[in-house]
Structures are given as C-alpha cells and as structure tokens.
Amino acid sequence: MGQFPIYIALRYTRRVTGSGHDTIGGMKKLTLSDYQALAEFRYQIRRFLHFSEQVVKQAGLERGQYQLMLAIKGIPAGVRPRIRELANRMQIRHHSTVELVNRLEAGGFVDRTRAEDDRREVLLALTPKGEKVLGELALHHHDELRSTGPELVTALRRVMREGTEAALPHPTSSHEKGKP
C-alpha cells in the first residue's frame, strides 16, 4: 500500500525525449495536434447529432425514440429484437429501454409480441406508422451524412493519423533509436 503513491508519482513524471510525445506510465502523451484532431472530430460528431436532434424533434419524437426504432429496424440478422439486445445496442440501461418502448407503444410506433417458440420472450416490431416515420427520418439522416460525411471522415482520418504516431513506441535513448 505504501508504494502505490510513489508508483503514481513516478508514472506521471516519466518523459521520453526526442519523440515529440511525452509518456505517462508507458502511455504516450498527446500533442497539441492530437488534441486539435480530437476536438475537430468531436465537433463534427456534435454537428451531426445536433442536426439529428432537430429533425427528430420536428417529427414529434425524442432522439432516444428515433434511435430505438432505428435499432429495431437495423438489428443484425440472427439477433432477436428484445429489450436486452436493444438496450445493449443503444448502450443504455434496461429500464430506460423499457420506458422508451412504453412511450413508442403508446404512440403507436412499436408493438410487443410474444415469441412463438418461447412465450416468455417479448419481441419488438415497428408498426406501419413506426415504419413510415422511421423511413422519413432515416432518409433525412442519410442525406445529411452524404452531405457532411466527408468532413466527418476527414476529421476521423486526422485523429487516426495523429493518434497512430502517438501510439507507436518511441525509443527511450539514442542507443535504442537504431533498433527495429
């Protein structure tokens, strides 16, 4: 227990010289360019999310409701559209997914049905109304991504390029620089 604070102190004070990247406990420290690339990528994501929020709101839905309908429609082959799988795909808690389903069902966008092979299992499906609204919203999202996607991809490529340099091991002394 007594060595833990010393380890932390040493971990955060080590530096590699000559690489352009500092190290923190063996991990590379990001450069200003890395931070700028991450900030630009985050900005591009946020622009798209803002667009999405506005379009979904205009349709009278909450963004989580749109995301759940999209998750139901786009669920991978072989995965059953159950609350647990949808909560996992949306990265939200089970009870939050149940609340979204309750609101969508009350609005006539989704139906719950019992699985034929296991009557205990509840499966979710879009209603015709849900299909129509999702189709319109997804088309708007698709068009927006086709329009602004290149900027998002450019930002991601910059993060990957900058991050690749930071992730590569850098020699710790001039003696090791010549080694492959």
The answer to whether residue 9 scores a pLDDT higher than 90 is no
CA distance 38 to 45: 11
Say if CB 100 and CB 123 are below 8 A apart.
no
For tokens 């590569």, the residue is 168
Q: Of 42, 19, 37, which is closest to residue 166 (Cα–Cα)?
A: 19
Handedness of CA 112, 75, 140, 51 (dihedral sign): positive
pLDDT for position 163:
54
- Helices (DSSP H) in 20-80: which residue ranges? 32-58, 63-73
Q: What is the DSSP string of 69-99?
A: HHHHHTPPTT----HHHHHHHHT--HHHHHH
The mean of the pLDDT values for the chain is: 83
pLDDT of 17 strictly over 70: no
pLDDT of residue 21: 55
- Taking the C-alpha atoms of residue 58 and residue 51, their distance in angstroms, rounded to an integer, is 11
